[in-house]
Structure 1
Amino acid sequence: MPLHNLLTDLFGDIHKPEIVWQAGIIVVCVALGWLLERLLRVNGNGALRVGATNFRDVLTPALIAALIAISKLVAKAYLGNVNLLKVALPVFGSLALIRLAFYLLRGAVARRGTVGATLVTFEKIFSLLVWLGVALYLTGLWGDVFLFLDTTTLPLGKNHVALSTILQAAVSVVILLMLAMWAGALMEERLMGVAGLHSSLRVVIARMSRALLILVAVLVSLSLVGIDLTVLSVFGGALGVGLGLGMQKIASNYVSGFVILIERSLAIGDMITVDKYSGRVTQINTRYTILQGLDGVDTVLPNEMLISGPVQNQSLSNPNVQVATQLTVSYDNDLDAVIALLEAVPRNLPRVLADPGPGVALKKFGADGYELELGFWIADPQNGRGGVVSEVNKGIYALVRDGKIKLAYPSRDMRELDAQMLAVLTGMTRS
């Protein structure tokens, strides 16, 4: 026999005058909830904004549900039957629950303000399940459904577990994991805004905090379900064997990631060269590091490469980098005058540092002229070297075009062949 049916009671009271008062109370509660949300609004940079969502999306239906719950208690003393308020309360309460789940999920999963298609699909399924539960509650079928779940059991090993227990366990695990991931995302977002901490240290604290929160959530969830945590010792041993046999690389990369973050040998924004890859570090994760080349291509490097092999870090202790270009000038030039002209070329460029200033080195006396190297320093290697070298070469070309510098050209010696050898060659040709 179904439990009390709220919809049937509501239809029975549809012609009573109390229904008008209840409708007015609902309208007033909705208006007050909307106004209170505007008064308590959390702006886009507020403390409760995480990822791609804002807590104010939850605040309005939650305030309306709270006002309806208070009004129902007061109105029951004066009106008697408050069936319309009893129906409105779970409707707005479910809406607040759905918005709260969206807030937690998007804060924990969504990155850079974007929401993936998988997350949107999960949100639609979750909304459908919540509204289905509301419909069962309003029609009085919820008790029958729960009774069916409570009496139906599944054999799990030597024990028989009711479907209601499995459902409650799944819900508790999902809720606690969602809260842990949301709290981890909130902590990471706040840590990234702390200017007093090194960027690597901020990443380490954020990653370890999120992992610890998820571990605690899993353990608490298992305890709530009734699973003895001592059984995890067997699983831990199996996991250790698995790491030792088949997951050495993965474990090594994770450990290397934490070593990199803790010892601060690399930081986000550093210009590095690893093997044949060069670029700027854009992300340091626990398993891999993303290196963005000057051509815009991202390279995913396992963290083990950054620990076991040599790494050239152009920004570790000093961001200044020397850049050079070579040329060969004719011996007809005045060497001191050429050096003075070449050193003046990079000084007019905005990216070239004044201290240390440009310098010209005489590399060697070549077959065709003086072989010179013009060196200068820049402080932004992440912007590339090709552009500034090209500008310097254009300045050198202007000096050559104006005749202030003469470039060397390869010389060719024309020599006479020995007359006897020429005669021999001529005789061979005639024959």
Structure 2
Amino acid sequence: MDISTVEKFLRNDLIKWLNDLQKSVVKAFYSWHGAVEIVLIPLIFLLGRFFHKKITPKIEASLQGKLPTVVLESLFVKTILRELGLVFSVLLFKLSVYILTAQNYKPSLLVIAGSLTAAWVIIKIASSLVMNRFWARVISTTAWVMAALNVFGLLGKTVAFLDTVGFVYNDKNLSVIVLFKGIILLLALIQVATFSNKIAQDRIAKSRSLSPSLQVLISKACKVGFMTLAVYLGLKGIGVDFTGLTIFSGAVGVGVGFGLQKVISNLVCGVILLLERSIKPGDIIEVGNARGKIKSLNARFISMETFDKKEYLIPNDSLITGQVINWTYGDSSVRLRIPFGVAYSSDVREAMKVSEEVALTVKGVLKNPAPVCRMTGFGASSVDFELRIWIGDPEKGTGRIKSDTLLAIWDAFKEKGIEFPFPQQDIYIKNLPQTVKES
């Protein structure tokens, strides 16, 4: 950076421009036409707001049915309708300038206000096409500042000044202007990559020939590929030479590899899970004491939602190295075991038959394989049984089916006279004390 160039810009160009602006503004303020312009500027904005409230609802109503709902609800169309008030103001500025010019007067304040307002409207509508709201604000603010500099005649001098500020990298002068252009190019490429990724994601999601796990793998590969290509082209556009970074990136890669072993392990395990298809979105799995449905497969972890609406984030390497029960891996059918008991005075064969029959009446219990009841033992006060039933939709939960089955057994046993056991204890006294016998 040349210090003399900076001093020249600050002392000569900028100070001269500020003096000229001060003279023109003061002259405008203390003239009759300048006072008229100062009154007209807020009045024009008020009239634009008035027209916006009266006309915009009618325009919006007329578009209903003529344009698809997706288009009407898009941010681009909503921004246009929201900024119509300023559009009306710009038109009023143009009309006022035309009238005053016809009176042989140059309305400088109105021209400036109208130009800045028009630039703001155009930039606001154009930035609505940017998907990321943060970068949309950054781009719109930067563009409006550039438009303001252009209106005041400072854009060329500012660009020339910023072109002298920077540093040299790999025999190339990377000035502020070059970096700014590179950032704009990078943001544009990222927007293109994001849009292309959305199209690819939609195509992949609609493909019936791909399994859910393969869809997730291809989607993530497309996202990483598009973003990597965008960053590479953006940095290449500002003259970054990647060959000079080879040794440095290798050294950093070794250090990062040691520090991020667990993260890399989870990433690799995530790819293995997707390729093996052992776990996929929608499966019912059990890890430790937690059981639930897989909502999504991510780069480092899976998201599992239990039937209590608790969401577990389980690292991928835990699923590879630990024990996982996948209830729906090969078949979505699941067998449930429902224990119960009857009193010793009851007909045990009748109890087994009745429990199998009533289980078929419960909603959600499969008829094939049919319910089966087995005697499991003789308890302290009951004969113990286990009813084994099959269900085909474990993702909806098993608690309801167990409860409905037990209620059906209760009603059927009451009707058949089969008794349920309850704890009881008999006490036998062999020898009574003498005092008790005499009494």
**TM-score higher than 0.5:** yes
Match of 1:135 in 2: 148
Residue deviations 1:81-108 (CA, integer Å, cap 9, x gap): xxx99x99997687555445433424xx
Deviation readout 1:199-221 (Å, 9 max, x if unpaired): 11111111101101111111111
Shift of 1:223: 1.3
Report percent identity of matched pairs: 25
Partner Cα distance (1:364, 1:257) in 2:
46
2:185/2:234 contact within 8 Å kept? yes
2:237 pairs with 1:224: yes
Closer/same/farther in 2, CA of residues 202 and 94 from structure 1, 3 Å limit: farther
1:104–1:197 Cα change, 3 Å: farther
Distance 1:182 1:38, change over 3 A: same
Where does residue 20 of structure 1 map in the other structure?
none
* Distance across 1 between alignment mates of 2:124 and 2:212: 36
Q: Distance between the aligned counterparts of 2:65 and 2:253, measured in 1?
A: 51
Per-residue deviation at 1:198? Answer: 1.2
The TM-score with structure 1 as length reference comes to 0.72
SS of 1:339's partner is helix
Please name the residue that 1:289 is paired with. 302
CA RMSD of aligned residues (A): 4.2
Whether 1:331 aligns to 2:344 is yes
User: Matches of residues 78-97 of structure 1 in structure 2 within 5 Å?
Assistant: 95=121
Q: Deviations over 1:55-112 (max 9, x none)?
A: 6568999xxx9xxxxxxxxxxxxxxxxxx99x99997687555445433424xxxxxx
The amino acid of 1:151's aligned partner reads T
Which residue in the other structure is 1:205 paired with? 218
Assess if the C-alpha contact under 8 Å between 1:53 and 1:103 holds in 2. no
1:43 corresponds in structure 2 to 68
Q: Is the 8 A contact 2:341 2:382 kept in 1?
A: yes
Equivalenced residues, count: 368
Partner of 1:240: 253
What amino acid does structure 2 have at the position aligned with 1:326? P
TM-fit CA distance, 1:349? 1.9
- From 397, 408, 420, the counterpart of 1:395: 408
Compared with structure 1, are the counterparts of its residues 158 and 284 closer, same or farther at alpha carbon in structure 2 (3 Å cutoff)?
Answer: same
| Kept after mapping to 2: 8 A contact 1:42/1:56 | no
- Quote the residue 2:280 is aligned against: 267
Q: How does 1:105-144 map to 2 (within 5 A)?
A: 105-106=131-132, 119=133, 123-144=136-157
CA distance in 1 between counterparts of 2:291 and 2:170 reads 55
Distance between the aligned counterparts of 1:192 and 1:375, measured in 2?
A: 38
Supply the distance in 2 between the matched residues of 1:400 and 1:317 (Cα, whole angstroms): 36
Q: CA deviation at 1:403?
A: 5.1
Cα distance in structure 2, aligned partners of 1:395 and 1:40: 54
User: Alpha-carbon deviation of 1:258?
Assistant: 1.4
- Residues of 2 paired with 1:286 and 1:221: CA distance? 25
Match of 1:350 in 2: 363
Alignment partners' CA distance in 2, 1:42 and 1:304: 50
Write out per-residue CA displacement over residues 262-288 of structure 1, whole angstroms, 9 at most, x where no aligned residue: 221111111001123211000111111
Relative to 1, partners in 2 of residues 1:221 and 1:209: Cα closer, same or farther, differing over 3 Å?
A: same
Per the alignment, in what secondary structure is the counterpart of residue 235 of structure 2?
helix
Deviation of 1:347 after TM superposition, in Å, equals: 1.4
Note the C-alpha offset of 1:408. Answer: 2.5
* CA positional deviation for 1:157: 9.8
* AA partner of residue 204 (structure 1): L
3-state SS of paired residue (1:354): coil
Structure ranking higher on relative contact order (CA contacts 8 Å, 6+ apart): 1
Q: SS of 1:279's equivalent? A: strand
Q: 1:384 aligns with which of 397, 420, 431?
A: 397
Quote the Cα distance in structure 2 between the aligned partners of 1:397 and 1:255: 52
Q: Per-residue displacement from partner, 1:334-360 (whole Å, max 9, x unpaired)?
A: 222211211122212221112112111
- Structure 2's unaligned 5+ residue stretches are 1-12, 26-32, 34-55, 88-109
Q: Which runs of 5+ in 1 are unaligned?
A: 12-30, 66-83, 107-118, 427-431
Partner of residue 103, structure 1: 129
- Among residues 155, 163, 179, which one is paired with 2:176 in the alignment? 163
Q: Which amino acid aligns with 2:429?
A: E
Look up the SS of the partner of 1:268 in the other structure. coil
Deviations 1:214-273 (CA, angstroms, capped at 9, x unpaired): 111111112111111102312431342134311000001111111111221111111001
User: Does the 8 Å CA contact 1:219/1:229 hold for their aligned counterparts?
Assistant: no
**In structure 2, distance between residues paired with 1:94 and 1:184:** 30
CA distance in 2, matches of 1:215, 1:40: 41
Matched with 1:322 is 335
User: Matched residue of 2:425: which SS?
Assistant: coil
Q: What letter is aligned with 1:311?
A: V
Indicate if the aligned counterparts of 2:115 and 2:151 stay in contact, CA closer than 8 A. no
| Contact 1:104–1:179 (8 Å) recurs in 2 | no
Q: TM-score, normalised by structure 2?
A: 0.71
Matched-pair contact (CA < 8 Å) for 2:282–2:293? yes
Q: How far, CA to CA, are the matches of 2:183 and 2:268 in structure 1?
A: 32
